[in-house]
Amino acid sequence: MANKILPVKGTREFYPEQMALRNFIYAKVRAAAQGFGYQEYDGPFIEPLDLYAAKSGEELVKKQSFTFEDRGGDFVTLRPELTPSLARMIAAKQGELNFPVRWWSFGPFWRYEQPQKGRSREFFQWNVDMLGVNSPEADAELIAVGATFLRSVGLSPERALIYVNNRRLMDAEFDALGILSEKRLDVSNLVDRRTKMEPAKWDAYALELGLTQSQLDGLKDMLANFELWQKSDELTRLFAALEALGVKEYVQFDPNIMRGLLYYTGTVFEAFDTSGSLKRAIFGGGRYDNLLADVGGNPISGVGFAMGDVVIGIILQEKGLVPEFMPTPADVLVTVFDESLWMKSFELSTQLRNAGIAAMVFPEPAKLPKQFKFADKMKIKIALTIGPDEAANDSVAVKNLGTGEQVTVKREAVVDTVKALMN
């Protein structure tokens, strides 16, 4: 135990098995986004603190970001989110981009939070955004990208759902209840906390915020009304589009979904695992109308969502939806019979690689049982051996480790034999 230096709190080390999961998630988000024609992009990993100070709340900048002074005296921060960078990138090329812009990204982010299940300080996040179109149909497309991802990893609508609400609808309802605009933030917060508080305490908290009893009753009626969406033209169009996009079974209206973000102005949505132990959102997003103005661009409406890799990774593992881990990408193991035949094995491996077959040579002339055991543990399905007999005949012993069958073939037939076994 010479090395006692531990990883930084809240970071994860990606051993090959964890790396395989990360790459699995990456492959699935990539396929989902690109299937809808989205382009991959990325921003810087460190940004000026001011980029976030402009738009984000005090909580983020002062308490939940990795911020430091660089050697030149500038305050920089490890990016806690991508949207401000996206807004700046869009604003900078506003005149030359071909709108609507459909972009996606998957990269690392940092937030100085208390690590616990489903939350680390260093994580990967999938971001998908469409800018330049303001319509419920565009909102539906983003939700469809998310739903397509859920479907592609085997999370059926019985296991995961996307709950949808609309800020404008809620504002209209708040108006009808006579809840003033300066109380909206408090009331949104109140709605957000409803599932976390006991009903009696929640009622008391509502009255504490200055709601009248009749407003509270009205609010509760509203939050229990799952047909409320029919009053919203936007949501009616949204659900029609979701049906045509083939993902309607994943989506439900829920008036309790608010989302903490201040910049959402229309549709908001959040995906949850409905069958597991983890109560955290899988992904969430919505429509924002005013983001670009803050970084010097002309106002452009956008819609997007983000998904962290931590929660979805736990869910996929708990449900057994992660493909079997393959310890090595090698298709075959070439054994080394003894020292005199070592170079024969190297030559054979080169022949295989030239034919597009991933081949690993055992690193030393060890006992054959040891070499086969190694192949077994590495889950390699094919083992090739050149012993004295094979060397004399210019042939190779090809063993199928799945069935135990072994054949001896001429060197020139090895590639075809191996390829046949791989299928």
Enumerate binding residues for RNA (CB under 7 A).
1, 6, 9-10, 52, 55-57, 59-61, 64-65, 80-81, 83, 111, 113-118, 189, 192-193, 196, 259-261, 279-280, 284, 337, 367-370, 372-373, 375-377, 383, 385, 387-390, 397, 399, 401-404, 406
Q: CB of 28: closest distance to RNA in angstroms?
A: 21
Helices 167-176 & 233-244, crossing angle to 10 degrees?
150
CB of 230 to RNA, least distance (A): 27
| Closer residue to RNA in complex, CB, 57/100 | 57
Compare residues 2 and 420 and give the one whose CB is closer to RNA: 2
In angstroms, give the least distance from the CB of 363 to RNA: 14
Q: What minimum distance in Å lies between the beta carbon of 64 and RNA?
A: 4
- The minimum distance between CB 239 and RNA, in angstroms, equals 24
Q: Which three-class secondary structure state does DSSP give residue 405?
A: coil
For the chain, state the CA radius of gyration.
28
Q: Which is nearer to RNA, 249 or 318 (CB)?
A: 318
> CA dist 208 to 147, 177, 204, 415, Å?
39, 17, 6, 77
Question: What are the helix (H) ranges across 44-94?
Answer: 49-55, 58, 83-92
- Pair 283, 271: CB distance under 8 Å: yes
Shortest Å, Cβ 231 to RNA: 25
Extract the tokens encoding 156: 């059926």
Q: Which two tokens stand for residue 299?
A: 């106002």
The token pair that represents 217 in the structure block: 């009753």
Q: Among 317, 327, 316, 311, which Cα is nearest to 17's?
A: 327
Minimum distance from residue 196 beta carbon to RNA (Å): 4
User: Residues near 321 by Cβ (< 8 Å), separated by ≥ 6?
Assistant: 153, 154, 155, 315
Q: Which is nearer to RNA, 403 or 423 (CB)?
A: 403
Residues in the chain: 423
Residue 269 has a CB neighbour count (10 Å cut-off) of 28
In terms of CB distance, is 361 or 375 closer to RNA? 375
Of 123 and 250, the one with the shorter C-beta distance to RNA is 123
Element (H, E) at 337: none
Residue 194 vs 237, nearer CB to RNA: 194
Distance CA 235, CA 361 (A): 60
Percent of the chain that is helix, strand, coil (3-state, to 5): 45, 20, 35
DSSP 423: -
Q: Which helix (H) or strand (E) holds 274?
A: none
144-to-82, 271, 333 alpha-carbon distances in Å: 21, 12, 43
State the minimum distance, in angstroms, from the CB of residue 331 to RNA. 14
Instruction: Name the minimum Å distance from CB 263 to RNA.
Output: 7
Cβ closest to RNA, residue 241 vs residue 281: 281
Strand partners, 283: 271, 307
Of all helices (H) and strands (E), which one includes residue 129?
Answer: strand 122-131
Looking at the Cβ atoms of 1 and 73, the one nearer to RNA is: 1
The least CB distance from residue 183 to RNA, in Å, is 16
Edge-to-edge strand list for the sheet holding 75-78: 46-48, 75-78, 67-69
CB-wise, 90 or 245, nearer to RNA? 90
